[in-house]
Structure 1
Amino acid sequence: MNLAEPIALYVHWPFCVTKCPYCDFNSHVRAAVDDMAWRDALLAELAFEAARLPGRRLASIFFGGGTPSLMPPATVAAIIDAATAHWPPSADIEITLEANPSSVEAARFAGFAAAGVDRLSLGLQALDDADLKALGRPHDLAQGLAALDVAQKHFGRVSFDLIYDRPGMTQASWTAELTRALGFGTTHMSLYQLTIEAGTRFAALHAKGQLTLPDAETSADLFEITRALTAAAGLPTYEVSNHAKPGQESRHNIVYWTYGDYAGIGPGAHGRRMGTATERLKKPEAWLAKVRAEGHGMAQHQDLTIQERATEMLVMGLRLGTGIGRTRFEARTGMALADALNMAAVARLATQGLLVDDADGLRLTLAGQPVVNAVLREIAA
C-alpha cells in the first residue's frame, strides 16, 4: 500500500424527511434529532479513524446519506475543520455534500458553502411532477429547479442525479427530459437506471405485478440515448452511470473506483484502509450508543485477503471508462491482474467486443458498459 497516496473521508448522515420507495440505502426517518449529540459522535469517530491513518493527506470529503443537507451547517463546518486538522488537506481538496431540493434545505446552501463545501450533489431524480410523486420524492419540479438555481449561485461545482428507465418511460420522453437537463449547465450528472432493490417498497410492488419497468430492449435503448446525448453535450461517460466535463469528475468517487484508501464514519458507513474493511452499525441509535461508550460505532473490522481485495477492485474498477490498470491493480491488491481473471472468459468476451485486454489493463468497450455486472460474473477467477 502506498502511504504517500492521499485518502478520502466519507461521512454518513442517516436521516431523511421520508423514505423513498426505491431506496435501499441506510436511511431513517426520525421526528427529532439531537444535533449536538450527533456532532460530538461524528467528531469522536473521526478522531478514531484519524488515529489509524496517521501521516496521510486528505484528498476529499463526501457528506452522504440519508439526506446530509438536513445537517446544521455548523456541524458540517466542525467536521471539515476537524478532518483537515487530523490530515493536511490536498491543495485541490474536494468537499461534496448531497442535498435534496426542498426549500428548507436549499435555504442552508449558503451556510454549507461558508463551511467549506465546494461541490453540491443535488437529488433532482426526475423532471416530471407525476414521476416525482411516484418515486416518493418530497419535492416537486418547481422546488427542484429553484434549488438547482440556488446551488449554482453558491457552489463552483454542481452535480445532480436523475433516475431513468422509470415505469412508462419511452425513448422520446427520456430524450426530451435529458435534453432539458443538459441545458441546465452543470458540469457533472449522475444518471441511474431504476433498479428493484430487495427490501424496498418498490420490490414489494414489483413482486405483486403492480410496478412494471421498461423491457430489456427499451432499457438498452435508453442507456444508448443517455451515453450519446451526454457525449454530444460535452459530458462524456467516465463511469457507467456518471458523466462529466473533462476535469470535473467526482474525485472522491474515483478513490472508490480505483480502490484507494478511505475512512467511513457514521451509521452504516464503510471504509477501506490499508487492506482492512470497516463497517459501522447501521441503526442510528445503536451507533450513537456505541460511540458514546467506546469512541467508535464499529460493527465489523476485517483484514481482507489478497483474493478479496482483487475481487473488490475488479467490481469497482471495471465500471470506469479507463478500466483497471495492471500496475495499480497489483500495487493495491498484491495480485497480478491476470491471476484474478478467468482468462478464457476474458478472451471470449473480448472476441465478442465487450472487453479490451491489452498492455495497459482491462476495460469495457462501449458495448460492454451496459452489461458490466454480467461481464464481472464471467471474468472473476
Structure 2
Amino acid sequence: MPALAEHKRAEIAGTPEETEGGFGIYVHWPFCLSKCPYCDFNSHVTRDVGEDAYADAIIRELTYFRELTGPRNADSLFFGGGTPSLMTPQAVGRIIDAAAGLWNLGQGAEISMEANPTSVETAYLKGYAGAGVNRLSLGVQALSDDDLRFLGRLHSVAEALEAVKLARSVFPRISFDLIYARPAQTPLEWKKELEEAISYAADHLSLYQLTIEPGTAFEKLYAKGALLPPSADDAAVLYEVTQEVCAKAGLPAYEVSNHARPGAECRHNLVYWRYGDYAGAGPGAHGRITREGKRIATETEKSPARWAENVAREGHGLIGREEVPGNAAGDEMMMMGLRLSEGVPLARFEKLRGRKIDETRLALLEKDGLISRAKGRLTATPRGRMVLDKLLGELLVE
C-alpha cells in the first residue's frame, strides 16, 4: 500500500466540515455459512454472486463513491458482514489495493476485518495480513459450548481460543466480541467468563447485551414464550459487572459496548460515533458523505444479486441518496456521540442543528447526574449511558 507524504495529505484534507470526525471506507460482504438466530444484519446463506464478480462490483461501486467524495484522506477501511472471512485473501487484497488507489489510504491506516473463529476461516488469517489487513475482530460471542450452540454459532470454545491465539501472533491489533445477558446468565458467571476473555490478551473487546431484534428467529421464540432473556434490572446488573471488570483490567469503556486499552480503540467505528464521513459499499451498506457543505445519506440495495446487477448497469447499487437536513444531522450526531465516553462537542452540534439546547434543561440533567459538561463537550455519565434513550429524548426535544 503506497505511503503518502504528510504535506500531500494536508493538501487534500478537504474542508473543516469534511474532515471533522474523519473519513472511513466500509465494505459489506453479505454471505454467511449459516444465519445466527439473533442477527438482523443484511446477511444471506445462499451465495448468488461469485467472489470475483463481487470484488469487481465492490471496486466499481467504490469508484463511484470516490466521484462523490473527491480526494480524501482515509484513515480506516473496514470489512464487515455477513462473514467477510469467507473471502479469499486475494479478493481482499484486490479491494484494499483499489481503495488505496481511489483515496489516500496511508501506511498507518487501520484496515479491519470481521472473522468467525471456525477452522475454515482461520486458515486464511495469514493471507489477510499479507493482503494488508492489520486489525482482526473475531466473533467469539461466548466461552461456553452450550451457549455457542444456543446462539447458533458454528465454532466451539476450543476453536475460538485457538483462533484468538493465532490472530494474536499474526495481527498487531485484535478484538473479539462477546454477547451477554443470555438466558439465566448470572452476574458471577458473566464475571468469570469476562475475566477469562480478558486473560487472552485482547486489547479490544466488544461486549453486547443480547437483544431481541425484529424479524429474527429469536423474536419468534420470544413471542412464543420459549426464550426468556434477563429482565431489564438483571441486564443492568450485568452491564455494571461489565464496566467494573473491564475498567479494573485496564480496558475502560470508550463507547457503550466497546472497551479498549488506551490507543487500541477501533478507529473506524470512531468515525461513525464522531459523526465523520464514510463511504459504504456492498449490499445494504449505508454511508454518510459531506458534499459541497451538505450531509448526504446513502443506502444500497440489500439483495446481493440485484445490487450486483445495479452496479453493472449504473456503476452503483444505491436505492437511496438524500440530503440530511441540519436538524436531523444534529440529532444523528448527538445520538452517536453520546455513546462515547468522550462525549459530543456542543459547538458542532449547535452548528449542525441550528439552535442551542435549553440551558435550564441541561442544568437539570446535570443536577440529576445524567450528563456532565467540560471544555465545550457534553458527556453522558455512566448513569446517563444506562438510560441513553431517555436522555436523548430530553436533549433533543424541540
Bin the TM-score by the shorter chain: over 0.9
Cα distance in 1, alignment partners of residues 107 and 88 from structure 2: 26
Give SS of 1:368's match. helix
TM-score, with normalisation over the residues of structure 1?
Answer: 0.96
Cα distance in 1, alignment partners of residues 319 and 49 from structure 2: 22
1:111 is matched with: 127
2:322 is matched with: 302
Deviation at residue 143 of structure 1 after TM alignment: 1.1
Structure 2 segments unaligned to the other structure (5+ residues): 1-14
Q: Percent identity?
A: 49
**Cα distance, 1:355–1:115 mapped onto 2, change above 3 Å:** same
Deviation sequence 1:200-241 (CA, Å, 0-9, x none): 111111111110011222111111110011011111110000
TM-score, with normalisation over the residues of structure 2?
Answer: 0.92
Deviation at residue 311 of structure 1 after TM alignment: 1.0
Deviation at residue 306 of structure 1 after TM alignment: 0.3
Cα distance in 2, alignment partners of residues 4 and 192 from structure 1: 30
276, 301, 304: which one pairs with 1:284?
Answer: 304
1:40 paired with 2:56, answer yes
Deviation sequence 1:102-141 (CA, Å, 0-9, x none): 1010000011000000000000000000000000111111
1:17 is matched with: 33
Aligned pairs for 1:185-204 within 5 A: 185-204=201-220
Cα distance in 2, alignment partners of residues 228 and 369 from structure 1: 15
Cα distance in 1, alignment partners of residues 373 and 223 from structure 2: 39
Give structure 1 regions of 4+ aligned residues with deviation exceeding 4 angstroms: 342-345
151, 155, 162: which one pairs with 1:146?
Answer: 162
Cα distance in 1, alignment partners of residues 320 and 181 from structure 2: 35
Deviation at residue 170 of structure 1 after TM alignment: 0.3
Give SS of 1:259's match. coil
Give SS of 2:382's match. coil
How many residue pairs are counted as aligned between the two chains?
A: 377
299, 313, 336: which one pairs with 2:333?
Answer: 313
Deviation sequence 1:341-366 (CA, Å, 0-9, x none): 46554333222111114452211111
2:11 is matched with: none
The CA RMSD over aligned residues, in Å, is: 1.5
1:370 is matched with: 386
Cα distance in 1, alignment partners of residues 212 and 360 from structure 2: 32
Letter in 1 for 2:53: A
- Kept in 1, the 8 Å contact 2:49–2:304? The answer is no
Aligned pairs for 1:4-83 within 5 A: 4=19, 6-30=22-46, 33-83=49-99
1:360 paired with 2:376, answer yes
- Kept in 1, the 8 Å contact 2:134–2:173? The answer is yes
224, 240, 262: which one pairs with 1:246?
Answer: 262
